[in-house]
Structure 1
């Protein structure tokens, strides 16, 4: 049904105006730009002409039924205008006005629209746009192109459109979600990404209410997520270490990995990634840098490696081929320093690119190429011939260009040929670095039955986890007598999540007398909680944390990383959606720095990574299957043995 939103048979603008400072002007102007494709009706309460076109005083005066009605009238008019639009047969309403006054509020407005068989975008929307359908119901002027945009902020969405135009690109479809009283991100994004003229989708989200629907949305076309919210962790009270470590930012990254979605931090970065996606169809890891100078090559290569790309040295055969074309003082490894050869003969650029391309996934030209014609019109023919050579021959390896002056006829030619041209090397490398991993949607893991047993309280949780194959040291509740355990012992208070900070853990207890004395002190210090005593694990090993946390939008997530008292301080963690398979858990472990310690750092014995992965799977399964739980945590986990556990 949303197709009639982007390609309606008829359009009406209510609140049409001749004043360029008003929304009614831009909506009328945009609607009239598509008048050759569909009838356009302008509604103005005074009946004044708008942009040289006659208007109607009310939707009730229109001679035909409507597909789409855009509304930019004062808030108090909405009850009447919406009723008139639905009576006129409107299938979609785009509500621009903020602060809409409607009896019963926005839920009642949405229900009224849906009950009439129609759908609503907004209120507080900044409109819709479809370049192929000639629909431009938004502020300003957007440029046609291959990028679809769905935005919870209309201004950010329009900024994406303007930034795309500066890069020689444009938008296929755009929709500003607004207050989303009816149509939300999922439905609108599905309509935008499904359009044949959309080749890449950019989503701007101010919340993660789309949740795991992001996984279903991402598919054959690249999807870029621009979002905010990483700082929310500082405003959120947490009980466990897991809640502190599974920040909104980490959950966004987990969703993106599961959905095969690329993450952007700014609108400009989103456009740079989109431009790289349009030029590069396969993952990029190894790149060649071809530069006009040693300085530009060094900057480009260093930046690439900082962003996770590789700049490998060339084979002797490639170095020999380069030496045959370049001056004696040229740089022949990677990066390549042309040492003036490009300026002497512009055909050198595509020739060198052809030589190095087979060894890498992509080639980056950095320097002055594409700027010659802009500064010296006499060089336009030679430079465009070199650009045409580049476009013809690089069919298996993409080429991206950084030029010092991103304007002029050669830049236009290259962009039209699908070769990205940027004014900074940062833009080139930012785009490429987003393509280092395959865009693969993670198939959902079949839900496993939760391990049976109680998880309320430490002793019950311990029994349940042990029954599921999680190892614990031998221990028991301390009743003041001989615990019958091997010394040294650990004494801890049951209840607090942050025991160490509260003085609720004592290590290295060597005698029964020490145990009795420390137990008395702990009861006095903490007002008499139950105490637990267990054998102290004396084997060497790295303390880890494994936890599962229920995010309000993404659902259960598992977090793994460095644990113990350093969990928040080191913050070497990674988060993924639950449930996990055993192999997914091991792959997650490998993403952390602490994984190097587990694999045997400097001769130390390797840890039981399979045991750690098993704990991750079990905790994820429990939280996935038990909606009454918010979080469950094992911290620390040492050499595959759980030293403490917590659930709530």
Structure 2
């Protein structure tokens, strides 16, 4: 039975829960360090109305305490449930009956225990929420902080509450401990709008919380930490809402090992592992992916401050030659451009930089900047005036008070030119002079790692590219009649595999150039077929039980006469009969030998969470060894296909290699587009697909092999 995906909540759905005017604490207590006591203590700065509920106490401190929620003078917007698991369901039912806006559940011991009866208790809470419209966070949740209201709904204490700034970020995390750990960045000057944790997510999850922040005017960028989601498409939808509101989303995913990826029969299946799929799906939706949790907050703050990138590169202005070399090394690693200053700008630089420094990029002002107080601003201003530069990097090498004013200068120059400056904290004096000044400057982003800085700049540029390439509702280049014809043929297929012959016919119906072939049953038929298609030819066994023919030794290439065809026919049948268990053999395919060219793999698969995907990379027998591939949600448009080719590590091979002519990228991109539409249109039937290799040469592109894996559910 198909279950409709749960829609992502709108801001209005969560307003009373996450931005309440009134809060009730069920389980309020005067006992020191109890959850109820700590929760009340952490609400000291909240300007809204606070109600206490516990039948044991008529008063707690100077506040009245009520025996139940229905005894309160009003229906609260949000209820903080601090009682034990055994009492939670009754409180949730009371919340639902009264029309409470939402509740946060601290109690643990639900589905995370792995016990079926505890999972059932959690499901009951979720069902109450769905049936009543009550929004629930948790159970097993540490709570949340709304910095805009100075409200901490948690047994954990809040971090320092910074004054409102123009570059606040929101933080969402499945793990509450990680949420509050990362929130301690506020101690060094990072400004948050909200810190939201989701716990077991019986109702509200990280996708809903990201969607809430997407519509929060005071939040400029969103950091998100999660392990896994039952329906990650919902998080993509939330991220798209953020993008529509001009807010970048930066994601760090836990549990990135590939052990959970299902084994697949095709090259495509083995190349599109779970982490690769997540990353490709999110990046193509404009989400910034970080590989290290230490980079999450720095990168998100950078995205909040940086705005939209231009077409320029990075300029490094350092007072240390070593720091400049570090920057150049990491820029090369991440593909960040380091253009050179124009002659006019070089002339300005040389007025201020001693001859033992450098006016090239990276620019080394040397320690003489101490004696020449005007040199940094003059050089930085001249460089930032150039369209060639989008970002100014000023490594903070030694955290001394006398170096702190340089950060203010960098920020002023960046603001003057509508650009962004970065301060990479090279010093081991964490939290030393200059860190707070950097974090609170709206035009300077702090990074505690040169590697993270360059990765963020590269991701910033990639994000802009992905968003520019995106074309919602990509139109199929294939006529409806052809799509329907292939669907009918797939309807009639049995088993788990479509062999090469019929697979190539189906793909040809989508306009993908396919080599012609003939299926024969004898050596004499093979010789006749070879004569019709012209020598040299290729012979292959056709068998649903031998998906990888080269590995099984059932392919013979470059056969130039009838005698060679006869011999090859006998040899490949003998090789096929050695395969165990004994394969079913439909015959032997005869096809003309393709002209030499670059071999490209274009594959596709239907991911159980993200749906149809397309994979592109160097093809042939080395594909799984090289693993140089690009992955995207299907279907893709022509510009996206070209971009995938341009992102391959071995992309230079497309421009001609070892005497091969350059690849016609437009024709190759067209084939990629058509294959992506094939798997998208036929997703109900097709589990995975390989077109490997696709031969690319001066004549265009030609697919010489294909394999389709069928979905068991469809047959």
The alignment's TM-score, normalised by the length of structure 1, stands at 0.90
Aligned to 1:578: 634
Is 1:644 the equivalent of 2:712? no
Is 2:292 the counterpart of 1:263?
no
* Cα 1:525/1:198, change in 2 over 3 Å: same
Matched, 1:331 2:358: yes
Distance 1:17 1:429, change over 3 A: farther
> Any stretches of 5+ residues in structure 1 without a counterpart?
374-378
C-alpha distance in 2 between matches for 1:503 and 1:51: 83
TM-score between both structures, scaled by the size of structure 2: 0.82
1:94-127: CA deviation from partner (whole Å, max 9, x where unpaired): 1121224789533332222343332212222221
Equivalent residue, structure 2, for 1:42: 52
For 1:115 and 1:410, the matched residues in 2 are separated by: 52
Aligned-residue offset at 1:224: 0.7
Q: Map 1:512-531 to 2 at 5 A.
A: 512-526=565-579, 527=582, 528-531=584-587
Instruction: Say if 2:28 is the partner of 1:16.
Output: yes
Aligned to 1:488: 537
In structure 2, C-alpha distance between the alignment counterparts of 1:493 and 1:536, rounded to whole Å: 16
Separation in 2 of the partners of 1:490 and 1:103? 57
The offset of 1:18, in angstroms, is: 4.9
CA shift for structure 1 position 228: 3.4
Residue 470 to residue 117, structure 1, CA distance change in 2 (3 Å): closer
Distance in 2, Cα, partners of 1:445 & 1:623: 15
| Counterpart for residue 412 of structure 2 | 392
Shift of 1:13: 1.5
- The alignment partner of 1:434 has SS state of helix
Counterpart in the other structure of 2:158: 141
Equivalent residue runs for 1:221-620 within 5 Å: 221-232=247-258, 235-283=261-309, 285-359=312-386, 360-368=389-397, 371-373=399-401, 379=402, 384=405, 388-395=408-415, 396=417, 397-403=419-425, 404=427, 405=429, 407=431, 410-418=434-442, 419-439=444-464, 441=467, 442-448=470-476, 449=480, 450=483, 452-453=485-486, 454-455=489-490, 456=493, 457-458=498-499, 459-480=501-522, 481-483=524-526, 484-485=529-530, 486-495=535-544, 496-509=546-559, 511-526=564-579, 527=582, 528-620=584-676
Aligned-partner SS, 1:55 = strand
Query: SS in structure 2 opposite 1:482?
Result: helix
Alpha carbons of 1:202 and 1:499: their partners in 2 closer, same or farther (altered >3 Å)? same
The match for 1:632 is: 689
Q: Of 72, 78, 92, which residue of structure 1 is paired with 2:102?
A: 92
Output the CA distance in 1 between the equivalents of 2:575 and 2:72.
Answer: 82
Alpha carbons 1:8, 1:67 under 8 Å: kept: yes
- Cα distance, 1:335–1:75 mapped onto 2, change above 3 Å: same
Aligned mates of 1:98, 1:32 — CA distance in 2 = 25
Deviates more, 1:20-29 or 1:489-498: 20-29
Structure 1 stretches of 4+ with a deviation exceeding 6 A read none
Q: Deviations over 1:591-630 (max 9, x none)?
A: 2134322322254212343443233222221221222321
Q: 1:579, CA displacement in angstroms? A: 0.9
Distance 1:594 1:372, change over 3 A: closer
- How far the C-alpha of 1:287 sits from its partner, in A, is 1.3
Contact 2:226/2:252 (<8 A) preserved = yes
Report the counterpart of residue 115 of structure 1 in structure 2: 131
**Are 1:32 and 1:40, in contact at CA under 8 Å, matched by a contact in 2?**
no
**Contact persistence 2:198–2:206 (CA under 8 A):** yes
User: Distance in 1 between the 2:669 and 2:452 partners?
Assistant: 38
Query: Compared with structure 1, are the counterparts of its residues 552 and 218 closer, same or farther at alpha carbon in structure 2 (3 Å cutoff)?
Result: farther
Q: Provide the aligned C-alpha RMSD in A.
A: 2.7
Residue 45 (structure 1) shift: 5.4
- 8 Å contact kept, 2:214–2:239: no
Q: How many residues align?
A: 636
* Cα gap change, 1:463 to 1:86, in 2 (>3 Å): closer
Instruction: State the match for 2:114 in structure 1.
Output: none
> In the alignment, which residue of structure 2 is the partner of 1:156?
178
CA distance in 1, matches of 2:262, 2:705: 24
Rounded Cα–Cα distance in structure 1 between residues aligned with 2:380 and 2:261: 51
Return the alpha-carbon distance in structure 1 between the equivalents of residues 56 and 321 of structure 2: 68
Q: Deviations over 1:541-588 (max 9, x none)?
A: 122211111112221111011112111101011011111223322222
* Residue aligned with 1:324, SS: helix
How far residue 272 of structure 1 moved from its aligned partner, in angstroms, is 1.3
Whether the 8 Å contact between 2:55 and 2:67 is mirrored in structure 1 is yes
Preserved contact between residue 215 and residue 258 of structure 1 (Cα < 8 Å): no
In the alignment, the residues of structure 2 paired with residue 306 and residue 20 of structure 1 have an alpha-carbon distance, to the nearest angstrom, of 53
- Cα shift readout 1:368-416 (whole Å, capped 9, x = no counterpart): 47x332xxxxx59xx64x6555443432132222353454565434433
Distance 1:257 1:581, change over 3 A: same
**Match in the other structure for 1:376:** none
In the alignment, is residue 129 of structure 1 matched against residue 145 of structure 2? yes
Which residue is 2:113 aligned to? Answer: none
Q: Taking structure 1 as reference, are residues 185 and 452 closer, same or farther at Cα in structure 2, changes over 3 Å only? A: farther
Cα deviation for residue 278 of structure 1 reads 2.8
Residue 602 to residue 515, structure 1, CA distance change in 2 (3 Å): closer
Counterpart Cα distance in 1 of 2:591 and 2:707:
19
